[in-house]
Structure formats: structure tokens, C-alpha cells
Chains A and B, each alone.
Chain A
Amino acid sequence: MKVRYLLNILGKLCLGLLLSLAVNANEPTSMQRVPIPDPPKALENFSTEQPCVEPIDIIRRNHGSLLKHRRNDTMYRGVRTTQYSLAACINCHVTPDAITGNYPSISQDSEHFCRSCHSYVAVTIDCFQCHASKPDTSVNVINSINILDTSRASQ
């Protein structure tokens, strides 16, 4: 009686093992996984030697700190060069759709340069709650009419 009971249990365990193997076989293949992001090409290369403002591996790892360091330089010290500026990144990397001509939306379209990677790694970016997520296409109405007599350029 006891032996039969044990055999029964063993049988069920084997069945469970087989079933779990079957489930494993159903695991999504690489085709069904979340696709590796393929962000759109930038408008232009930074220089003939390197495509972006820093070598690609440094940009990929450190773009957050570069932007943050630069943001404080701009905010408190008035430095407005384009090398690490968020606006310059956006101007070069966010490109209009080839067919519709519209810029991708940061909140919906996975083609948006920043969103493509950030949604893949599940990291939320708050930058674009305030900052523009696409280049400014509107023509500025108020042109620079009077350049200051004491402009910093003349120093």
C-alpha cells in the first residue's frame, strides 16, 4: 500500500517535470523578445574623427552626468556652448519621420531617440516634463534688434 502511494507521488513528480519542460519549450524565442532598441541616426557627425561629442562608449555610459554637469554650468555660470547641451543633443538626434515629416513624440513613439533606449531599460526620464523634446521649428518673431553695447562678445 505504502509502496504504491510512493510510486504514485513519484509519477506525479515526473509528470510535473515533463510539464515544466514543456513550458520551458514555450518560452519566447529571441524574435519574440522586446527588441533591442534601434535609435534613429543623428543628423551629422561631431567631427571627422568621432561621430558624437565623446566616444560612443563614454556617451552611452556617462551622458547623464555630462548633461547634469553641463546643466549646472549653464544655470549658474551662463555657459551656453553646444557640446554637452541638451538642446543641441535634441537638435541633432531627434529627426523627423521620413514619411510623415513629424517629429516623434517623447510620450508615445518608440522612435524618439531618448525614449527608444530608456523604455528598453525601463528608466524614466523626467527631463522632458520641462525641456523641449524636439527641435524648435517656430520662427522667432522678436529678432535681436539691439545688440548690447557692452555685449560679452566684444570683450
Chain B
Amino acid sequence: MNEEISPTPNRRDFLKTTAIVAGITVAPGVLLYGVSQAKSPDDQTITAKKRWGMLIDTNKCVQGCNECVNACITEHGISENVRPDITSQWIRKVGLRDKQTGKEYSLPLFCQHCEHPPCVDVCPTGASFKRVDGIVLVDKHICIGCRYCMMACPYKARSFVHETLKNQKPHSPRGKGTVEACTFCVHRIDKGQSPACVAACQKSGHKAMLFGDIKDPNSEISKKLSHVSSTALRPDMRLNPGIRYQGL
């Protein structure tokens, strides 16, 4: 029996041709889109494949050294002088003393960028939020200044701005009536740089702060975390902070 030749293309051929044509039409667009996306780190969106964290070696942190605190103040322009006793503190140096042995510790304390942040749980407006890469921030556009988050934070990491501010830094908007805290220098991280406090600690030669992606097993911080013993502050609360301390 002779095969009948159809005058119109059959279904299979039609689908094949369509797929090829569609491929030719769409592929360059997709490729170009990919190329344009890879152009600069600025236009890449953040991803949950990363989680930024820090390891602080309390043995290397020098008592009386305030490099990290000063770097933070310079970077974010935290220098209101109206009422110095209530000036914002994004990072502070804390001294601890073991009563049994007399051993003294000195360590920087700031927003611990928890995996389960209590400040986010209590915020009535949704201003307090966690970025997908683990950085906990305040969206000051919708913060009403109620300060529930300040009460909820077990690390006392947040501050309230009481005075009208002037001459803020372009990369660090701050204003009266909102709550603020360490942003992990998110503007620097988005550019591929490390936070100002870490850079200052490196520069001073103490190298007590190590910053990096704790979800990447090949990053310096992950490798170190896997073989030194470190602890979170108040691990009993199971907040899983992004900041861990070594030698406490």
C-alpha cells in the first residue's frame, strides 16, 4: 500500500517546525538577558542561596580597641551631638569577666542577624524584616517608631532616633522617629565589599572579625566554623544568629 502524501504538513512536522522557530526567536533574547544580567553586581537581586554571617574571635579582640565602633560611626555618620547619652549605638564593645577565674573578655556586640528574629515577629507594620540572604533590616519608610522591636531584641541591638538629623550619608538614610540597627553595611555587601567594622578590624591588624557566606561550604568562614568551636550568644533561645563568637 502506497504511503499517502498529505498536502498539508502533519501534526508532528508542524510541532517540530514551531519548536525550532520558537527556539531561534527566543534563544538570543534569553542569552542577551543573561548577558545583561551578569553585567554588574549592582543589578543582581539577592538570593537565598547565601547567608551572610560573621565569626568573631574573642581571643584576638583587644580590650580598649574601638576600631570597629569608630568605623561604624564614620561609615554611617552616627554623630548627633544634641543628647550624647541617647545617641544610636549600632555596635558597642562589651566587656565580660568570669567570676570564677577572673578571665576578662572583650567583644563587639551588634545586631546578630538571627535566622528567627524576634524583632521581625513583633513588628506591627512589617517594617522590620529579614532579607532572603539573612540580613535583618528596618524599612524606615514604613516604621512607625513604636519600638516593640527594641523590647523584643534580647541583644539590645536596636536604637531609636530621638532628634532631627542633618547631613546623613547618601548610602545610609537615617531619620527621627524610626528604629535603626546594624545593617551589616548592606550597601557595601551589595557591591561585594565586607562591612566597615570588619575592614577596620583587618586594617588595625587584629583580624578578630571574619565575614562571609556561611551557606557556601568553600568560603573562608565556613571552613573555619567547621573546625573551631564557636558559640552563638544566648543559644538557649534558638534564634540561630548569623554572628558567632569563638573563645567565649
Interface of A toward B, CB cutoff 8 Å: 71, 75-82, 87, 90-91, 129-132, 135-136, 140-155
In angstroms, Cα B202 to Cα A117, docked, is 47
Does A145 contact B199, Cβ atoms closer than 8 Å?
yes
In angstroms, Cα B40 to Cα A151, docked, is 11
Instruction: Give the interface centre of A132, A136, A142, A149 by most chain B CB atoms within 10 Å.
Output: A142
B173 to chain A, nearest CB (A): 4
Closest to A143 in B: B199
Q: What residues on A are CB-neighbors of B42 within 8 Å?
A: 79-82
Q: List 13 A-B contacts (CB under 8 A).
A: A71-B141, A90-B170, A131-B173, A132-B168, A136-B170, A142-B199, A142-B203, A143-B199, A146-B199, A147-B193, A149-B219, A152-B44, A155-B44
Contact of A132 among B46, B173, B186, B216 (CB under 8 A): B173
Contact of B129 among A76, A131, A150, A151 (CB under 8 A): A76
Contact of B192 among A76, A79, A131, A153 (CB under 8 A): A153
Interface of B toward A, CB cutoff 8 Å: 38, 40-46, 50, 71, 74-75, 129, 131, 133, 137, 139-141, 164-165, 167-171, 173-176, 178, 186-194, 196, 198-200, 202-203, 211-213, 216, 219-220
Q: What residues on A are CB-neighbors of B164 within 8 Å?
A: 129
Closest to B138 in A: A75
B108 to chain A, nearest CB (A): 15
Does A142 contact B40, Cβ atoms closer than 8 Å?
no
Known: A142-B74, A142-B196, A145-B199. A151 touches B41 (CB 8 A): yes
Q: What residues on A are CB-neighbors of B211 within 8 Å?
A: 148
Q: What residues on B are CB-neighbors of A130 within 8 Å?
A: 140, 165, 168, 173-175, 178
A115 to chain B, nearest CB (A): 15
Known: A75-B137, A81-B43. A146 touches B74 (CB 8 A): no
In angstroms, Cα B194 to Cα A151, docked, is 9
Does B170 contact A145, Cβ atoms closer than 8 Å?
no
Known: A142-B71, A142-B75. A129 touches B41 (CB 8 A): no
Does A132 contact B191, Cβ atoms closer than 8 Å?
no
Contact of A131 among B50, B131, B168, B198 (CB under 8 A): B168
In angstroms, Cα B41 to Cα A152, docked, is 6
Contact of B45 among A77, A87, A146, A149 (CB under 8 A): A77
Closest to B191 in A: A80
Contact of A146 among B40, B187, B194, B213 (CB under 8 A): B194
Does A149 contact B41, Cβ atoms closer than 8 Å?
no
Q: What residues on B are CB-neighbors of A150 within 8 Å?
A: 50, 212-213, 216, 219
